[in-house]
């Protein structure tokens, strides 16, 4: 199959990476993936003091770069990576509010990190991925993927439901998604995240704007935003200390990429190991390009694994469409305002579903690879990794802070290396 050649499949079953839905359905599915990643891709730059529109724009460009580098074989969206938040804040002394005055210094570190990922990808491309798999077998990769979802679970539970009403609306939202997933058919069932979000938003609007419960939806931001406008680009500055702080994040992104490709392999039933090196290179190049323009470091997005797991649609064409939509969003403050007008509680309910699906995708790696938990090595590695990641176990090395996903990732790798029977 050529790079831009997909076989149409409207059977209602699994859609493989080299297949596609009708073009109309493909566009809507691409939009659903954009919405699934939008919250995190906007939240990460805000927490670091970056321009969210630049982050959205560069996530779209990064996704297209990734598509070309992997030859259209690995379905993936590249969005803002949360792994950079701690090190960027440390490198720039960001106060946590407004624009980051030292963003240029962080960008130099992000570019260096992307270069490190690309170099590792080149090595994998030349000598294969077996040396990585030796340290990261299915018990490790499954745990790392599951931990990504579990580590993020606290965000919607603790930060996206400030009132009792919001907590109830989160419940209404994930029930709406569940009802769509179980009781609808065809395209609507495949759009369970998008349709559930719309239903919950309508219910929220009726209860708040109509009946006076909770915080009403504010449409003024949509009305006042311009249709088109260029985001604020920033040039990087290369500072040695900042680079030393940020470059180690490359190892976390390598683990995330490895887990992503393994998860997609498990879901599609296709061995994608031959594209692992390209996937690393794609993520590295996309991170470098993003940093060069003022954007955040990017990674393969776990949220989109969740959507693929729910819809069983793995067509790479969907991610081309999603990337193009994101680029348009980067130049459209009005559409960005529309997405940001979605109630926080509704986004929280959707996040609960998506993050849960990510965790289950990790467990699926264990099931598909028949990981034996009567083996104490596997049992201890999985048990410790899950608690480290879920509890957000954090370690500090001077000015470098390794958060829950990082400690869980390294913990899983090191524990397996120490405990595996020779």
DSSP readout, 191-256? THHHHHHHHHHHHHHIIIIIT--SPPP--HHHHHS-S------------HHHHHHHTTHHHHHHHH
pLDDT in tens, 278-291: 999 999 999 999 99
| pLDDT at 1 exceeding the cut of 80 | no
User: Hey, which of 20-24, 51-55, 108-112 has the most confident mean pLDDT?
Assistant: 108-112
Give the model's pLDDT for residue 284: 94
Q: How far is CA 391 from CA 153, 256, 408, in A?
A: 10, 18, 10
Widest distance between CA atoms in the chain: 66
Rounded Cα–Cα distance for residues 259 and 148 (Å)? 10
Report if residue 5 sits inside a domain: no
pLDDT in tens, 155-190: 778 777 788 888 898 999 989 988 988 888 765 776
| pLDDT at 401 exceeding the cut of 80 | no
Higher pLDDT, 334 or 105: 105
Tell me what the mean pLDDT of segment 263-288 comes to.
Answer: 87
Structure token digits, residue 184: 């609808």
The SS3 of residue 273 is: helix
Beta bridge partners of residue 176, listed in sequence order: none
Report if residue 374 sits inside a domain: yes
How many domains in the chain?
1
Report if residue 167 sits inside a domain: no
Report if residue 149 sits inside a domain: yes
| pLDDT at 396 exceeding the cut of 90 | no
Tell me what the mean pLDDT of segment 207-227 comes to.
Answer: 82
Whether this model's pTM surpasses 0.75: no
Print the domain residue range for 27: 15-162+215-347+360-417
Q: How confident is the model at residue 11 (pLDDT cuts 50, 70, 90)?
A: confident
**What is the average pLDDT score of the chain?**
83
Give every CB contact of residue 216 below 8 A, 6+ residues apart in sequence. Answer: 205, 208, 209
| pLDDT at 379 exceeding the cut of 90 | yes
Q: How far is CA 350 from CA 153, 156, 158, 244, 307, in A?
A: 11, 9, 14, 36, 11
Give the model's pLDDT for residue 95: 64
Tell me what the mean pLDDT of segment 136-161 comes to.
Answer: 79
Q: For 274, which DSSP code? A: G
Give the model's pLDDT for residue 172: 92
The end-to-end CA distance of the chain, in Å, is 42
| pLDDT at 406 exceeding the cut of 70 | yes
Give the model's pLDDT for residue 65: 94
Structure token digits, residue 7: 């076989």
Q: How confident is the model at residue 43 (pLDDT cuts 50, 70, 90)?
A: low
Give the model's pLDDT for residue 292: 93
Q: How confident is the model at residue 336 (pLDDT cuts 50, 70, 90)?
A: low
Distance of CA 250 to the CA centre of its chain: 16
Higher pLDDT, 140 or 351: 140
Contact 120, 75 (CB under 8 A): no
Report if residue 190 sits inside a domain: no
Provide the residue count of the chain. 422
Tell me what the mean pLDDT of segment 223-246 comes to.
Answer: 82
Report if residue 210 sits inside a domain: no
Q: How confident is the model at residue 143 (pLDDT cuts 50, 70, 90)?
A: confident
Report if residue 246 sits inside a domain: yes
Give the model's pLDDT for residue 190: 63
Residue matched to tokens 């604020």? 232
Structure token digits, residue 287: 């991170």
Report if residue 280 sits inside a domain: yes
Contact 374, 276 (CB under 8 A): no
């Amino acid at each position: 199959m050529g790079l831009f050649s997909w076989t149409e499949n409207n059977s209602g079953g699994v859609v493989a990476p080299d297949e596609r839905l009708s073009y109309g359905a493909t566009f809507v599915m691409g939009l659903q993936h954009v919405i699934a990643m939008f919250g995190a891709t906007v939240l990460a730059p805000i927490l670091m003091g970056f321009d969210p529109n630049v982050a959205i724009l560069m996530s779209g460009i990064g996704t297209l770069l990734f598509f070309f580098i992997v030859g259209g074989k690995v379905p993936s969206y590249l969005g803002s990576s949360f792994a950079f938040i701690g090190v960027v804040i440390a490198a720039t002394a960001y106060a946590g509010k407004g624009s980051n005055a030292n963003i240029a210094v962080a960008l130099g570190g992000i570019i260096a990190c992307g270069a490190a990922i690309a170099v590792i990808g080149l090595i994998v491309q030349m000598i294969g991925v077996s040396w990585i798999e030796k340290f990261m077998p299915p018990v490790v990769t499954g745990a790392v993927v599951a931990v990504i979802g579990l580590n993020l679970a606290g965000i919607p539970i603790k930060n996206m439901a400030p009132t009792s009403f919001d907590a109830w609306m989160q419940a209404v939202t994930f029930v709406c998604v569940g009802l769509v997933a179980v009781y609808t058919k065809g395209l609507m069932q495949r759009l369970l995240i998008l349709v559930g979000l719309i239903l919950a938003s309508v219910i929220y609007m009726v209860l708040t704007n109509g009946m006076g419960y909770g915080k009403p939806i504010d449409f003024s931001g949509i009305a006042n935003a311009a249709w088109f406008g260029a985001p604020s680009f920033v040039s990087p500055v290369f500072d040695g200390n900042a680079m030393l702080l940020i470059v180690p994040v490359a190892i976390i992104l390598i683990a995330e990429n490895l887990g992503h490709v393994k998860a997609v392999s498990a879901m599609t039933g296709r061995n994608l190991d031959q594209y692992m090196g390209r996937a690393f290179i794609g993520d590295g190049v996309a991170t470098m390009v993003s940093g060069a323009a003022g954007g955040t470091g990017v990674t393969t997005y776990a949220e989109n694994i969740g959507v693929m797991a729910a819809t069983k649609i793995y067509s790479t064409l969907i991610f081309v469409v999603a990337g193009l939509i994101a680029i348009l969003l980067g130049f459209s403050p009005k559409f960005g305002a529309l997405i940001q007008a979605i109630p926080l509680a509704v986004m929280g309910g959707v996040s609960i579903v998506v993050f849960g699906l990510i965790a289950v995708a990790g467990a699926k790696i264990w099931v598909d690879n028949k990981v034996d938990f009567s083996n104490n090595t596997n049992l201890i590695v999985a048990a410790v990794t899950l608690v480290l990641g879920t509890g957000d176990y954090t370690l500090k090395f001077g000015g470098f802070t390794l958060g829950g996903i990082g400690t869980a990732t390294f913990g899983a790798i090191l524990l397996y290396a120490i405990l595996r029977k020779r």
